[in-house]
Amino acid sequence: MIDLRSDTVTKPTPGMMAAMMAAPVGDDVFGEDPTVNALEQRTAAMFGCEAGLFVPSGTMANQIAVRVHCRPQDEILLETNSHICLWEAGGAAALSGVTLRTIDSATGDGRLGASDFTDKVRPDDMHSVRTRLVCLEVTHNRGGGTVTAPGAINDISRWARQHKLATHLDGARIWNAIVKTGVPAKVWGGMFDTINVCFSKGLGTPVGSMLLGPRDLIAHSRRIRKLFGGAMRQIGFLAAACDYALDHNIDRLAEDHANARIIADAVAEVPGFTLKPHEVETNLVWFEVDAQHGTAKDVAERLKVSGVLVAPLGTRVIRAVTHLDVTRAQCVTAADAIRRLAR
């Protein structure tokens, strides 16, 4: 099976496994796991942040960020189809008593600009929630793996600072954006108060995300991680996989991006399939199927028969994702299977 459902399906390579098994470990709840401590420092330094907190998932990193920046009755400004809004099980409401004010991306690909935030701060009035936090997502998952330009992000961050709002980047796939644009990690890190980065997507580790930010916020985040049940013990074994991934798996993301374009070109050739967005920038290929092909599930079933797995994520919406565990040749094979769906 050529599994294009997600870049989370990767399995650790022998090299990564060897690094994991060789890791010195200790009790991380005591702050005594040297491999975790080193990874937190290394990742924070990469992004020009003071401190990092290793957590089990990107969802937990985002939800800790929500909790550390906000109090109950606060409101977050974020894009309508953001991961925090769509795919975190209502965490902001359930865990932090926070409401979400969604903003539609005018371009339909997850991108926002500073003008989208005009008049979005609630009045200082007892009837209102307190506008508190701006969350952005790069690359934007549901938006199609798109990268909001650093210039636009800078404008949004400046606007947020003027209004005394905190800023958080859901950078689960920031590595893809770094490779795509050549804009270094430090620049992305410099534009936000906190950032979530994930090792278990394109970087191919079995587990692991990190929340990055100023020392005081990360110290507070450590307490919230404990509250959310995310404090773990000898997790240097997991951190070692992440350390290995930073050494070996960032630059190669360019291959995933090239492979995604092979898939996208095939999709574009099938009458009744429409790439959304039209241009595939990184490793996510989202497309819609029209009624002549049946539903997204029908199309996914047909591809499965040809040995290709894709994710039907809506009645008419399909996502195909390239990653470390699919080769160029497999993507060419998958592209051929997609082309054969033309009728």
Residues that bind ligand PLP (CB under 6 A): 57-59, 62, 83, 137, 141, 170, 172, 198, 200-201, 209
∠ Cα 332 338 343 (to 5°): 140
Beta carbon nearer to ligand PLP, 134 or 335:
134
d(CA 277, CA 106): 12
Provide, rounded to whole angstroms, the least separation between the CB of residue 59 and ligand PLP. 3
Beta carbon nearer to ligand PLP, 232 or 332:
232
Provide, rounded to whole angstroms, the least separation between the CB of residue 262 and ligand PLP. 22
User: What is the token pair recorded at 12?
Assistant: 């650790």
Provide, rounded to whole angstroms, the least separation between the CB of residue 62 and ligand PLP. 6
Which letter, b or e, does each residue of 155-173 get, where b requires 16 or more Cβ atoms within 10 Å of its Cβ? ebbebbeeeebbbbbbbbb
Beta carbon nearer to ligand PLP, 59 or 96:
59
Beta carbon nearer to ligand PLP, 136 or 335:
136
Provide, rounded to whole angstroms, the least separation between the CB of residue 70 and ligand PLP. 18
Read off the DSSP letter of residue 140.
B
Q: Are strands 317-321 and 284-289 parallel, antiparallel or unpaired?
A: antiparallel
The number of beta carbons lying within 10 Å of the beta carbon of residue 215 is 11
User: What is the token pair recorded at 315?
Assistant: 């009645």
Beta carbon nearer to ligand PLP, 33 or 137:
137
Whether the bond between 277 and the residue before it is cis, its omega within 30 degrees of 0, is yes
202 phi/psi in degrees, rounded to 5 = -60, -25
Beta carbon nearer to ligand PLP, 85 or 335:
85
Provide, rounded to whole angstroms, the least separation between the CB of residue 208 and ligand PLP. 9
Provide, rounded to whole angstroms, the least separation between the CB of residue 2 and ligand PLP. 21
Beta carbon nearer to ligand PLP, 43 or 62:
62
d(CA 152, CA 194): 18
To which residue do tokens 């985040």 refer?
A: 221
Provide, rounded to whole angstroms, the least separation between the CB of residue 84 and ligand PLP. 7
Beta carbon nearer to ligand PLP, 3 or 341:
3
Provide, rounded to whole angstroms, the least separation between the CB of residue 60 and ligand PLP. 7
Residue number with the smallest Cβ distance to ligand PLP: 58
Provide, rounded to whole angstroms, the least separation between the CB of residue 135 and ligand PLP. 10
Beta carbon nearer to ligand PLP, 109 or 170:
170
